[in-house]
A and B are shown apart, each in its own frame.
Chain A
Amino acid sequence: MKNSKTKVIKRNSIENRLTEFFIMIAGLWQFQLQFLKQVFVPPYEIDQIRKHMDELGIKTLPIVSVTGFIIGLVITMQMHPVMVRFGAEAFLPGAVGISIVRELAPVITALIFAGRVSSGIGAELGSMRVTEQIDAMEVSAVNPFKYLVITRVFATTFILPILTVYVIFIAFVGSFIAVLLVQNMSYAYFIDKVVSSVEFGDAIPGVLKTFVFGFIVGIVGTYKGYTATNGTEGVGKAATTAVVVSSLMILIFDMVLVKVTLWLWPTV
């Protein structure tokens, strides 16, 4: 009897979570459609977009710098013994370069960015929602969706690719230091090897997909914050779920985009 009751409760809990999940997906889809509907309609709030880009860039620069340096350093140290085992030591800079440019820098920067920015946007807009600041904006005849959502989504979409390019360079610095630690190689030789190995078809898809990741971070963060309910509890929930959902979506979209970019820019 007790077992069957527990099973029913568990089933209800799973059902509720699934229902919540599908409601969230539908809501997010509608929110995105609203974005597309309003994004080309003036006013464009360029100053706000610039302000958010500055803020987000400055806010995430230290953490992505450290992350980029460590990625370059660690991946080189990990790959060195493997390359030695196969007698391909000379290919180390090229192999590391391709890994960083095609996959590691875009995805890890996007995940760090999601953790830092998506939660911040979710909490900020959530707090504005529950303290009626968004209502106040609407009553004063200003479109809060354009002012708060579109500006932030634009900023995240365009700042993430810039951060990714920066992280790629920082990762190369980390990688070069790791190379110096394990074998004797000049900086000029290292750069020459990287440049000759990393092709246009490696760099472009890596950077292009970060536009999609940036959009995901912005749209999920703003959606969670803009639709927050239930007071301060809702604000906390908006911040945490924004990170979880955007990180998960980045990984799922990465999986799809790998296939698309390989089709568009074949490596072989």
Chain B
Amino acid sequence: MAVANSIILLMNNVVEINKVSKAFGSHVVLDNVSLNVEEGENIIVFGQSGTGKSVLLKCIVRLLEPDKGDIFIEGTNVLTLRIKELNDIRKNLGFLFQGAALYDSMSVRENLEFPLVRHFTFTDAEREEKIKSVLEKVSLEEAIDKMPSELSGGMKKRIGLARSIITEPKLMLYDEPTTGLDPITSKEISSLILELQKSLKMTSIVVTHDLLCAEIIADRAIVLNEGIVQHEGTITELTTSRDPFLRNFFSHEIVEEQNRRNNV
């Protein structure tokens, strides 16, 4: 019965992180972190700078190797996979990096077709249609032949997002998707993420400091502190908590958010 329950649990959880630890030298960044993300869920990861939020995302896709623990994506332990099998998993996930990480030497079109050319057998016409459709989703059809250096910060984020979703991944990981953007663009990007998540039925893990972004996107949130998941709940539960750490953590964010709302 217990085995059956755990199988059902594994099947519902798109991502399951079990007691993952990661240290850089003597500095422990993640200490037995566990987290389950259910299918279709949008989960926000909060935490102060340097608490391992981005490290956690990079461990999930194995850009970094955890020191111990297990990470399951759709029931497969990615930490035990060989590179070819790991790449099969990676083809079904998207990752939006903090700086968008667009390939500087390629135009927007080349950036978008990069994963398509390598992993799919689309005809030229089908590929072109996909590129145009994804650019339409992020409202940047006119940028198709531009180089990344000709784009603004917000546009880069949108194109980065377009590149991540062009393969229609089931799981999306966002590393600070609204950092460095003005409040209006930040709200637009957050709404876009939610819209895409609903239309493509994706599961998302979002690392952010932006409370407005979190309020728009989140089903649930966790707070990482000193290498562990210290708090978990809905955004309202966390922001209205009487816990001294959370009050201290969110007080600054709430003031910032109020300022943003005034601006918006």
Contact = CB atoms under 8 A, between A and B. Distances in A.
Interface of A: 124, 127-128, 131-133, 135-143
Contact residues of A: prevailing secondary structure: helix
Contact of A135 (B91, B97, B115, B167): B97
B101 interface: yes
B63 A135 contact: yes
B114 A140 contact: yes
B115 A142 contact: yes
A140 B94 CA distance: 7
Contact of A140 (B58, B98, B115): B115
B101 A131 contact: yes
B242 interface: no
Given A139-B61, A140-B90, A141-B87, A131 B118 contact: no
Interface of B: 58, 61, 63, 83, 87-88, 90-91, 93, 95, 97-99, 101-105, 114-115, 118-119, 167
B101 A135 contact: yes
Contacts of B98: 132
A127 B98 CA distance: 15
A86 B80 CA distance: 75
A166 B83 CA distance: 43
Nearest to B96: A136
A116 to B, nearest CB: 17
Contacts of B88: 141
B104 A133 contact: yes
B63 A141 contact: no
A141 B114 CA distance: 11
29 contacts: A124-B105, A127-B104, A128-B104, A131-B99, A132-B98, A132-B99, A133-B101, A133-B104, A135-B58, A135-B97, A136-B103, A137-B103, A138-B90, A139-B61, A139-B90, A139-B95, A140-B90, A140-B91, A140-B114, A140-B115, A140-B118, A141-B87, A141-B88, A141-B91, A141-B115, A141-B118, A142-B115, A142-B118, A143-B83
